[in-house]
Amino acid sequence: KMSPKVPKVEICKDVWMPMIGLGTFFQPEVGDATKWAIDAGYRLIDTAELYRNEEDIGRVLKEKLSQGTVKREELFIVSKVWSYNHHEDDVVKACRQSLKKLQLDYLDLYLIHTSFGVNFHREDLFFPYREDGVLDTNDVDYLETWRGMEKCVELGLTKSIGISNFNEQQIERILSVCKIPPANIQVELNPQLTQKDLLKFCKSKNISVMAFTPIGRPNLEAKTPSYLFDDRVLGIAKKYGKTATQVVLRYLIDCGAFPIPRSVNKQRIEANIDVFDFQLTPEEISVIDSFNENKRLVKFTDAKGHKFHFLPPEAFQ
């Protein structure tokens, strides 16, 4: 079967982002996963300083580019600056370091990983704790971080910039002072956390939305999340000859988001991209909407109460 052609959307002038991508994390199999994904038709690969896998991904990209399997302009590579590099000059340094690890001349999209800063103790100590056991955060304003992001664009290190794990008010603050507006926000988004208000807000500001953890954290024994095991969703899947997972990924695309499912399993990687030959009806979309509980899996709880945290204190009750 031919690998699917993934449609692209222009997220800012002359920058076209594929509608689905491969999410990655710190896993030994990430090199294989990246290889399988590119072979299956994926062009968007999402990584980050935090994931400690840029070197592994870089090796595969170099191999695929030198074999001529893909051209650089067909790929869409995303990375993120971590919280201990929130000072303006550190952002540029971090971006250059990511490029070096990925063996690339430029990124397609560079994101601020989250809204609050932490102090640098040493490389790879991403969550440094003080002696009293509290996360060693700082008050570097993400507006300063944003100036560093803009510098990365001006220096040609990245084609576009954005944010991850930010809220509407924080985006408004950036929009009110920026030279270059964010082209994308990457947030947790799935049927249990549909983020409708944020989607609407971002649409009004021309900010595309990438969805991490798009199918939650599936657990076959516990049959969770419920939407992957629900008879109504399984009925929709049967109608289209798809799986519940494929239906949920399609749902996110139909809601206007760009899902980046994470997998290191070849069959699942191939199945996850096979969602462009059907579309859900408004009724089917509202069935899946009904699973929303505003339930978050990723909260960065250790920084709760920080003045730049993207979640209000009541989110941690």
Q: Which residues are annotated as a binding site for substrate?
A: 113
Amino acid at 95: C
- Roughly what angle, to the nearest 10 degrees, separates helices 88-102 and 142-154? 50
Binding residues are 113
Q: Which residues are catalytic?
A: 51
184 neighbors 18 (Cβ within 8 angstroms): no
Contact between 228 and 312 (Cβ < 8 Å)? no
What is the Cα–Cα distance from 178 to 143, expressed in whole angstroms? 8
In a 13 Å sphere around the CA of 263, the CA atoms on its Cβ side amount to: 22
Length in residues, the chain: 317
**Residue bearing tokens 């952002």:** 91
Nearest to 182 by CA among 201, 24, 6: 201
- The number of angstroms, rounded, from the C-alpha of 147 to the middle of its chain's C-alpha atoms is 21
What φ, ψ does residue 249 adopt, rounded to 5°? Answer: -65, -40
- Contacts of 95-103 with C-beta under 8 Å, sequence gap 24+, read 95/152, 95/157, 95/158, 96/157, 97/49, 98/47, 98/49, 98/54, 99/157, 101/54, 101/55, 101/58, 102/47, 102/54, 102/55, 102/57, 102/58, 102/61, 102/77, 103/58, 103/59, 103/61, 103/62
